[in-house]
Amino acid sequence: MSILIGAAMIAIAGVLIFIGRPNSAGEHPRFLRFEAALVLFPPVILSFLGLGAAAIISGLLTG
């Protein structure tokens, strides 16, 4: 079960990375245009990546 949760968390992180990318003109998406978002958004993505990887590793090791 934790392997599926970990995979879902890594998928969510991937979606957040894709959504947060600037367009070809270099403009950030609307929800990232205020200054606090640029400080809060990367730790949220890193949290999803880290906790997802930990869940997958834990699920593989506990079998």
Per-residue confidence in pLDDT tens, the chain, 63 aa: 889 999 999 999 999 999 988 888 888 888 888 888 888 989 999 999 999 999 999 999 997
pTM of the model: 0.84
How long a stretch of residues is the chain?
Answer: 63
Q: Which pLDDT value is given to residue 57?
A: 96
Residues 6+ apart with CB under 8 A from 8: 52
Q: Which pLDDT value is given to residue 27?
A: 84
Q: Which pLDDT value is given to residue 30?
A: 84
Q: Which pLDDT value is given to residue 17?
A: 93
Ranges of each domain in the chain? 2-21+30-62
